[in-house]
Structure 1
Amino acid sequence: MTLNFSTTKEIEKFLNTIPKFSSAGNSASNFDLSRMNRFCAEMGHPEKKFKSIHVAGTNGKGTVCRMFASVYRSAGYKTALYTSPHLLRFQERFKVDGYEITDEQLLEFFRQYGGQIKEKQYTFFEITTAIAYWYFAKEEVDIAIIETGLGGRLDATNVIDSELSVITSIGFDHTDILGNTLPEIAYEKAGIIKKNKSVIFGKLYKEAEDVICDVAEKNNSHIKRAEDLNPKISDETIHLCSGGEELFISYFGKEVDAVNAAIVLQGVKQLMDNLPVSNEQFAQGIENLKVNYPLHASFQQLKPDSHWYFDGAHNADATKLLIKHMLSIAPAEEWTVILSYMKDKLSPDIGEFWADFPNLFVCEMEGERAAKLTEMQALFPHAKYLDISKKQATNLFETELVIFSGSFYFYKAVSNWMGTETNSL
């Protein structure tokens, strides 16, 4: 039983037959690490051939992953980055020094392991994680930054013995899988903590932090908190205090990004013996983040000559942080807000957060997970409908400030509508 692909279009066609969490939800997932361990064994355990940093969290993990990668690249290390979901191109998930995996490398992977994939019926995320580990091992990277897909304890990525574990934040998301309380969710995230290895975490609710600290203690893991560096951001400058030294880093972003930078600095300091980084290299990495990794969907400016932004905020905590940042720029009435959600992300809190924005539109995405127009209009009764399946003029909105938000999966539709989409798997 084999899979013989000669082009990436054929790979695309095959992958599109496999249910994805983005469209099918829980039915596309498998929370059983024995399958991923078996896949890695079939490949000769590539996950054991590189050093890694493992990052989990309800919000902020993508930004923290990119910050780690940008810092280590600035310090001259060959740096791998595995993130999900992809925004435009499947290859975005797998990067070494900012370059995506090539078509030929993808074809080589499927030539080698297509038979096992078809026979064992691995999930989409198991396949992508296997590609990442295989690719990073072949590239002989100095350090790989690995983002969990969902949770941590039983996530397919959690077959690595990482040098460092990071938990960016813990909030209510994917409660049908991870649990209905913060301690339950925290326990799942804490599953990435490794014995005798450090764990770094961001700003956590006390009941979540207690669980993380308990798991860390049982694993003899050294704990470091981002807040110990007193992170702040003002006048487009991140301010951190480290070892009696003050770091000032030029950065345009949300307030939470100061905490994210503090997480990364704490992590870098823990690995300094094997991967030394100077303060200058650290600052350069953070300052060059959006140059090194321009596709990020975290208050991302969509065009250089406009004040149109995209942010993937899709739960209560992330939405609060986004709105706080928006209001620091301009009052609600000066913004046009275009939202699209997965149906499992709609909640009364989300409706209340956006209620003060008078210029509100909703869009409907494809897929069984996507919220229907009627479901969103019930939550946002004053919203207008915007059909972005058709090309429309960019002067449609009365305000200069425009934000697209609600889901990372919304990014591709927005990009296509604006005429900026590239060819993608």
Structure 2
Amino acid sequence: MNYQSSLDFLFQALPMFQRVGGAAFKKDLSNTLKLCAHLGNPQNKFKSIHIAGTNGKGSTAHALASVLQAAGYNTGLYTSPHLKSFRERIKINGIEIPENEVVAFVEANKTFLSELKPSFFEMTVALSFAYFAKKGIDYAVIETGMGGRFDSTNVIQPLLSIITNIGFDHEQFLGDTLDKIAFEKAGIIKDNVPVVIGQTHDRTASVFRSIAADRKAAITFADQSLDVKFNGYNRQSKEKNLAQYTLSGGTASIENIELDLLGSYQAKNLPAIMVALDHLKTLGLQLHTDHIKEGLSNITTNTGLKGRWQILSSDPLTICDTGHNEDGIQEIIEQLLVLKGKQKLYMILGMVKDKAHYKVLAKLPKDAYYFFCQADQPRSMPANALKNLAAELGLQGEVIENVNEALQAAEKKATKEDLIFIGGSTFVVAEINDL
């Protein structure tokens, strides 16, 4: 087999939530357990940090991995979904898994996989575990997919669990109330393993406390022990901006932090990141102030993270972000409105079929001009249908299905002082040519 035929086997032979949605979702860990057993239980051969949450888990995972790398640890990182390349999901020290490792895994296990018929996600998780074990990493940062309790990653026994926040997303699978969603995410809490909760919410705090108590897991609500203030940007050079934050309270030994992730919403992720690093230090990791500062100011460089408030152009200012649910869009809009001032905002927007469309669209500014698009994959909502829904809420614009053609049209309309935003779906951002 070559790399392309191996990918074809992964993408076509097995269900993939990223493309087909609910048909690939299973409330069962049995396949993952069988697959891991077949591979010699590689998930038990390295130490790990496990991260769940509705928003922020990807940024948090990349931030922690970057700090571990800066401290000299051989660091694995498993995240999903990918934007451009399947290999983005599995990295060691920021380097994507080589094609030959993917080919070797599929070739060695194809017969077993064909008989077991695991999902795309189940097999990708197992591939990451096998690769990390083979390479003898020191630590792996593992991000859940959609949920927690039945997520395929939930076969690990981590040093630390982190739940960034709880919001409405994937309600058809995780539950239609915040406490039900919290219960599913809290499934990653393990016996006697400390857990950090990033954001406190009245409806979910009791769920986390109850499950943590049952499992004798020490629990910390990060935002109750650490205050974070966004102070604006420090332009180091023409190529790089850094977002500046002040930390106070709790055991904060670092007063000022700079991130190369530029979304001001990272202020909500930083408490969990910093408290998690404190926990890891108590567990014996050598994470000094210089490591933390270096790691957090070089997240994109160290890990290759893309699509988080990423600036594509400055003339006019063009930004993309993968935030796609109600809370994520709210954070994006707040920062966009601060940036645009009195200038025109152009939004290139696409969504998937299985989202709460009205709730998201209701948060969007009515004075923006919209280009409604759709990513080239089965879960995409037709751009015309999205335009019609948006019109019911007073949002006006036009349909240009291709993301890059929509961007070209926006660039023609916009002046140098205007603002262009691309998002609404991870898949829309993934199709940007210059990402």
- Class of the TM-score when normalised by the shorter of the 2 chains: over 0.9
- Tell me by how many angstroms 1:358 deviates: 2.2
- Tell me by how many angstroms 1:288 deviates: 0.9
Kept in 2, the 8 Å contact 1:74–1:284? The answer is: yes
Identity %: 33
In the TM superposition, what whole-angstrom CA distance separates every residue of 1:223-253 from its partner, at most 9, and x where no partner exists?
A: 1222111112112311123526342112352
In the TM superposition, what whole-angstrom CA distance separates every residue of 1:366-400 from its partner, at most 9, and x where no partner exists?
A: 33321112321122211211232675747333144
2:305 is the alignment partner of 1:308: no
Counterpart in the other structure of 2:230: 233
Greater Cα offset, 266-275 or 149-158: 266-275
The equivalences for 1:79-118 within 5 A come to: 79-118=75-114
2:261 is the alignment partner of 1:243: no
Counterpart in the other structure of 1:50: 46
- Tell me by how many angstroms 1:300 deviates: 1.2
- Tell me by how many angstroms 1:84 deviates: 0.4
How far apart, in 1, do the equivalents of 2:299 and 2:108 lie?
Answer: 35
2:329 is the alignment partner of 1:319: yes
Counterpart in the other structure of 2:4: 9
How far apart, in 2, do the equivalents of 1:19 and 1:80 lie?
Answer: 25
Counterpart in the other structure of 1:20: 16
Alignment counterpart, residue 396 of structure 1, candidates 393, 412, 415? 412
Letter in 2 for 1:69: A
- Tell me by how many angstroms 1:304 deviates: 7.3
2:427 is the alignment partner of 1:409: yes
How far apart, in 1, do the equivalents of 2:315 and 2:112 lie?
Answer: 48
How far apart, in 2, do the equivalents of 1:248 and 1:307 lie?
Answer: 27
How far apart, in 2, do the equivalents of 1:221 and 1:408 lie?
Answer: 34
Counterpart in the other structure of 2:297: 287
How far apart, in 1, do the equivalents of 2:401 and 2:313 lie?
Answer: 20
Kept in 2, the 8 Å contact 1:261–1:286? The answer is: no
- State the SS of the aligned residue for 2:80: coil
Alignment gaps of 5+ in structure 1: none
How far apart, in 2, do the equivalents of 1:332 and 1:166 lie?
Answer: 40
How far apart, in 1, do the equivalents of 2:269 and 2:258 lie?
Answer: 14
How far apart, in 2, do the equivalents of 1:146 and 1:214 lie?
Answer: 24
Divergent runs of 4+, >3 A: 303-306, 389-395
Greater Cα offset, 398-407 or 384-393: 384-393
Counterpart in the other structure of 1:258: 267
Alignment counterpart, residue 307 of structure 2, candidates 259, 272, 297? 297
Alignment gaps of 5+ in structure 2: 234-243
Kept in 2, the 8 Å contact 1:193–1:221? The answer is: yes
2:213 is the alignment partner of 1:217: yes
With the length of structure 2 as denominator, give the TM-score of the two structures.
0.90
- Tell me by how many angstroms 1:303 deviates: 4.7
The equivalences for 1:112-151 within 5 A come to: 112-151=108-147
- State the SS of the aligned residue for 1:396: helix
How far apart, in 2, do the equivalents of 1:188 and 1:69 lie?
Answer: 25
Alignment counterpart, residue 192 of structure 2, candidates 180, 186, 196? 196
- State the SS of the aligned residue for 2:413: coil
Structure 1 pair 301–196 and aligned structure 2 pair: CA distance change class (3 A) = same
Structure 1 pair 348–391 and aligned structure 2 pair: CA distance change class (3 A) = closer
Counterpart in the other structure of 2:341: 331
Greater Cα offset, 318-327 or 251-260: 251-260
Kept in 2, the 8 Å contact 1:332–1:358? The answer is: no
Counterpart in the other structure of 2:237: none
- Tell me by how many angstroms 1:312 deviates: 1.0
Kept in 2, the 8 Å contact 1:251–1:286? The answer is: yes
After superposition, the CA RMSD in angstroms is 1.9
Kept in 1, the 8 Å contact 2:65–2:303? The answer is: no
Structure 1 pair 267–44 and aligned structure 2 pair: CA distance change class (3 A) = same
